[in-house]
Structure 1
Amino acid sequence: MSTISVAGTTVHYTTSGTGPGLVLVHGTSIGTQANFGHVVERFTDQRQVISPDYAGCGNSTIPPGDLTLDILVEQIAGTIRHAADGPVDLLGDSLGAVVAAATAARYPSLVRRLVLVAG
């Protein structure tokens, strides 16, 4: 597991596989392992799968004050910059779909494709 500091928080994430980046952005109150752990291995033969836990999930910390969409976007963008070599495919589920869409809107150079599920 890797760690970065972003927006006053510590973000933990895992990577596995090789190839173009695929970032999995999880839903509310559920970490990336619980949300996507059962499908990660289906992609690792052709993709570098990057699975961050944003604020309050897994071992990622919650910032002081309000937890905002802006903070979650910065956490995902920071993870992409730290873990990927170039633009990624960004898949978000539930709240993760909102975070993924906002990340793509704010940082289009980081995102190659956007997949939104149950937003």
Structure 2
Amino acid sequence: MSNHKGIAATVLVFGLLAGLGFTAFATDNPQAAALSAGEVPDATLNDRVETLLRTDIGLAGGQFRVQTKAGIVTLAGSVPDEHALRRALDLVSSVKGVREIRNSMVVESPK
């Protein structure tokens, strides 16, 4: 009889441990899911994109706002001309980890 209790206890402990392992993979957090796939965290990605845009000589005069969620980068703000807009989009697309770019930028009208 005590052998049956030992087996039951072993099965119970194994079941609990297996359940804990599976709950580590069940998440509603897309950032945690992305990190488990080896992707770049959103905050890091956001910093990389902002730095690239703000330090590029071809984008001088541009005003950028960058938001990143689950690898999707949303660009807002203004640029002086169409060439600068295309350059900004090309630069952002070159950043490792960017899955998609959503453009909300505007081209300033000449004064």
Higher relative contact order by CA 8 Å / sep ≥ 6: 1 or 2? Answer: 1
Determine which structure has the larger helix proportion and give its number: 2
Determine which structure has the larger strand proportion and give its number: 1
Flag whether TM exceeds 0.5 (same fold): no
Provide TM-score, normalisation by structure 1: 0.30
**Structure having the higher Rg:** 2
